[in-house]
Amino acid sequence: MNAKILVACANGAGTSLMMKMTAERVTKKLGMAVADIHHCAISEAVSSARQYDIVFAPLNFINMYDSAKAAGVNVIGLRNVLSDAEMEQKLVETGAAEKFKA
């Protein structure tokens, strides 16, 4: 099964694009099967999060995704949204890296 991943920042421009590139590097390193990585603003992400398997967002916005979490989406909050190491650690800790192994 290929993971659909959503990365979101406040405005959906520069930071989320850099988060997307981080997610691409990390998921490749972990050998994950990824169908799509989409980046956008928090406002769009909150309304579309349920369509994804994994959502990455800044830690301070995580509570906005409660309905997605309830629907089984793996919502991951990051302190440093551009940290490969933190993203990798969270994917391993949550079991997402193993679940979506290629």
Enter the pTM of the model: 0.95
What are 62-90's pLDDT values in tens digits?
A: 999 999 999 999 999 999 999 999 999 99
Q: What average pLDDT does range 5-13 have in this prediction?
A: 89
The distance of Cα 14 from the centroid of its chain, to the nearest Å, equals: 16
Q: Which two tokens stand for residue 4?
A: 């659909």
SS3 41: strand
What are 42-52's pLDDT values in tens digits?
A: 999 999 999 99
Per-residue pLDDT, 13 = 79
Q: Kindly list the domain boundaries of the chain, sorted by start residue.
A: 3-99
Q: How confident is the model at residue 37 (pLDDT cuts 50, 70, 90)?
A: very high
Whether 73 contacts 67, CB under 8 Å: no
The CATH number of domain 3-99 is 3.10.20.30: no
